Amino acid sequence: MLHVLIRHSAGEPRPRPMRASGRPRVAATRAKLPQADKLSGTPGPAHYGKPFRELDTDHATCTKGGKMTPFHTETPAGIAARQAAPDFVRGVAIVLMVYGHLTHIGSMAAVQNELVSWIYTFHMPAFLFISGYFFKVDGDFKDRIVRLGRRLVIPYLLFVTIYLLGLLAARDLGLHSNNPPPSSTIEIFQILFLHAQHPRGAYWFIYTLIVVQFCFICAWFANVRFYLPAGSWIVIAVVLLALACHAGLLWFSAVPYFLLGMTFALNRAPIPASFGVGLFGIISILLVAPSEIFSFSFIKIAWCLAAVATLAALSSVVGGHAARFFAWLGRNTLIILLCHSLFVLLMKPLGKLFLLVDPTGILYAVVVTVVTVIGCLAVAAFFDRAGLSEWIFGTMQIYSPHNKTSSVAKLTRSGGNEMIDVQEEGKNAGWQPSRDSTSRAG
């Protein structure tokens, strides 16, 4: 069975199950394989994000007890749960990001800050991994650059500017913030265009995606324009990323997670979803090297994969409304990432009032997190209704309704030709290379 799957994944037709006499027992339907890479002839960017089980839809059957029994059976509910897993992981991570960006107050502030330090060990590496998993570099160079600018660059510049103005207003009002406001025009320029060296809030993640995607788009264009050997674009992209890290435009610790996601996609491996594998990785790392997860290391990369596997498996366990709710949030992470800092700043003056009701500060953290998420979704719906989404994001609709199809399902039906939210949105932020270099929104 293993050699059949390997041959089938390489583009060879799957042989029919045979009787002992050598005659075929039943026919097997054949799945349409992904479009081949124009440069290498191998399954390429068109299949990114399509788990192998989505491509392998053959259900050959054999006789067992006089009945026809499938070799591989999977219920529609199981397929839907697997398709929603990436959105679920992003939804959980975006809520944790908002919670981590609060200025925690009250008698339980130290406990909450310690919890945040653990959250930072996995939630942003997981987003980088998923972003790389769904990223694709085919298409016209000019169209990709324009799309990158409309989808990421313009929103980044607009909302970072608004956030910096909010920091200045908070300073004038005497409100404490985890991020200092800019002290000069030169510093504003540095924050906008050299964000890796001068991070503010959660916007470093979008900045990182802009630089990483720009490097890959340029590498792909060079490969096509100059008719370079197949696979040359990968080498060129890695060189450009290395130069960007050397120049201080990128954190090196952010790049491997993105590349790891692309590696999974290129090998047609599904996003891992297994409690057994995830818990094995988590427990093993906690027993052997727990301190290494707080700074970039090979251990932290393994920790990230174990966390992704656990969260992806959790989506099928919780099921029902809870799974759909977090998947819905996962499809709206761009607007939450861009707007949550503003709501966090607006809620700061209410901190003292909440302490009168709950001295621990937990109620404040919960209420601000919920209000921030709801407020960001309301802003997205308003942008769509007012026609602002087209001007800001280059799309007619930035808000994803609750009943919208999952990202993986869309990608499967479109043959990989639809750019889904995670790869361009930059989806959330909060994680930084180490515990000492964190930069929170509030």
- 377-390 tens-digit pLDDT: 999 999 999 999 99
Higher pLDDT, 62 or 95: 95
Q: What is the pTM of this model?
A: 0.75
Higher pLDDT, 415 or 370: 370
**Given a cut of 70, is residue 14 above it in pLDDT?**
no
Q: Which residue bears the tokens 């366990």?
A: 317
Quote the mean pLDDT of the chain.
78
Provide the pLDDT confidence category of residue 408 given band limits of 50, 70 and 90: low
**Given a cut of 50, is residue 239 above it in pLDDT?**
yes
pLDDT tens, residue by residue, 29-51: 444 434 433 333 333 333 333 33
**Given a cut of 60, is residue 199 above it in pLDDT?**
yes
Q: What is the pLDDT of residue 185?
A: 86
Higher pLDDT, 416 or 180: 180
Higher pLDDT, 213 or 28: 213
Q: How far apart are CA 147 and CA 376, in angstroms?
A: 23
pLDDT tens, residue by residue, 66-113: 443 333 344 444 445 556 899 999 999 999 999 999 989 999 999 999
Best mean pLDDT range from 74-78, 125-129, 138-142, 176-180: 125-129
**Given a cut of 60, is residue 432 above it in pLDDT?**
no
Provide the pLDDT confidence category of residue 264 given band limits of 50, 70 and 90: very high
Q: What is the pLDDT of residue 83?
A: 64
* End-to-end Cα separation, the chain, in angstroms: 54
Over the chain, what HEC string results? CHHHHHHHHCCCCCCCCECCCCCECCCCCCCCCCCECCCCCCECHHHCCCCHHHHCCCCCEEEECCEEEECCCCCHHHHHHHHHHHHHHHHHHHHHHHHHCCCCCCCCHHHHHHHHHHHCCCHHHHHHHHHHHHCCCCCCHHHHHHHHHHHHHHHHHHHHHHHHHHHHHHHHCCCCCCCCCCCCHHHHHHHHHCCCCCCCCCCHHHHHHHHHHHHHHHHHHHHHHCCCCCCHHHHHHHHHHHHHHHCCCCCHHHHHHHHHHHHHHHCCCCCCCCHHHHHHHHHHHHHHCHHHHHECCHHHHHHHHHHHHHHHHHHHHHCHHHHHHHHHHHCCHHHHHHHHHHHHHHHHHHHHHHHHHCCCCHHHHHHHHHHHHHHHHHHHHHHHHHCHHHHHHCCCCCCCCCCCCCHHHHHHHCCCCCCCHHHHHCCCCCCCCEHHHCCCCC
